[in-house]
Amino acid sequence: MSKVEVRCICCDKPFITYQGRVDRGESKYCSRACAYATFGYHNLVLAALPGTTATLAEKTKLSIDCVVDAITRMMRADKCYPTGLEIVPEGRGSGKTVYQLSFAAGPYPEDCDLPRTQREALATLIDRKIFDALPGTQVSIVEKTLLCPSTVSKLIRRMRARGECHIGRWKRAKMGGPVAVYKLGPGIDAVCNVEKLTNRQKYLRLVAKVTKAGKLDEHRATRAAYARARYVREHGDQVINALFGRPAERNREAA
């Protein structure tokens, strides 16, 4: 009996089977896992669409792993496609939010240019969010995209390596140091021409900030307390020195 190559109706993966089984309509799945998945939780997930993996797991009462596996197989079989990103709680009571893909049932539309894997589709949509947030600094990109700073920093480095963005200019940050402003498109990184602030300039900026906030007296009292604590740490307390007959001037090693 001759062998032929057919595709699995679940994951669209090619496999070799006998022609007789194809004629009898038996060879539809490449493995038992695909057969069990098609008649099991795949149909539940397909009926619960549209939604994200978190909402689908909540609707179907399945685990996240089962939902992710079902979505992966159905995307390969052209039964569902990603539609965009949604912000959902991270879970575990952390109070943080994360981006998750939202899916809809049906074959891929002609105008959908997203990859057919969840990881690549998620990376593509997050890159587009970074593109929409440019031009801007890393802090402004974090505020616009709601991504964590480490993720934004890693994506910016990758985009610069691919020539998708560059440093357009430098500006002074709120803390006084230079910060890069990224622009979309290839180009030569601008040279940093923002000079570092001296200690005197930093102090004057701090005084102006606390004066504007009406906390100048509190700031002076705090600095006086720090200076007093430093003096006591280096020379010792005068009352204790007089009580035990210690010299007034002593270094840290003697203390």
Q: Residue ranges per domain, the chain?
A: 1-39, 42-128, 134-196, 197-255
Q: Which tokens in the block code for residue 58?
A: 């909540």
Question: Using one digit for the tens of pLDDT, what is the confidence trace for 137-147?
Answer: 999 998 888 88
> What's the confidence (pLDDT) of residue 253?
45
Q: So what's the pLDDT on residue 156? A: 92
Asked if residues 22 and 4 have their Cβ atoms less than 8 Å apart, the reply is yes
Residues in the chain: 255
- Which pLDDT score is estimated for 116? 82
* pLDDT (average), residues 185-209: 84
pLDDT band at 106, cuts 50/70/90? Answer: confident
Coil, strand, or helix at residue 77?
coil
Q: Which residues of 28-66 are buried (b: 16+ CB within 10 A; e: fewer)?
A: bbbeeebeebbeebbebbbebbebbbbbbbeebebeeeb
Is pLDDT at 251 greater than 50 in this prediction?
A: no
Structural element, H or E, at residue 175: none
The pLDDT of residue 90: 65
Omega of the bond leading into 50 within 30 degrees of 0 (cis): yes
Q: Residues 45, 67: contact at Cβ < 8 Å?
A: yes
pLDDT tens-digit readout, 2-29: 888 887 766 667 878 877 777 776 666 6
Strands 97-105 and 80-89: antiparallel
How many whole angstroms separate alpha carbon 117 and alpha carbon 120?
6
For 154-183, how does the pLDDT look when each residue is reduced to its tens digit (9 = 90+)?
999 999 999 989 999 998 877 777 889 999
Highest mean pLDDT among 22-26, 92-96, 248-252: 22-26
**More confident: 91 or 195:** 195
Rg (the chain; Cα; Å): 31
Mean pLDDT of the chain, nearest integer: 80
Output the six-digit token pair for 224. Answer: 């006086």
Evaluate whether the domain defined by 42-128 bears CATH number 1.50.10: no
Q: What is the pLDDT of residue 183?
A: 92
Both tokens of residue 221?
Answer: 């009292």
Q: Which of 74, 56, 76, 72 has the alpha carbon at shortest distance from 64?
A: 56
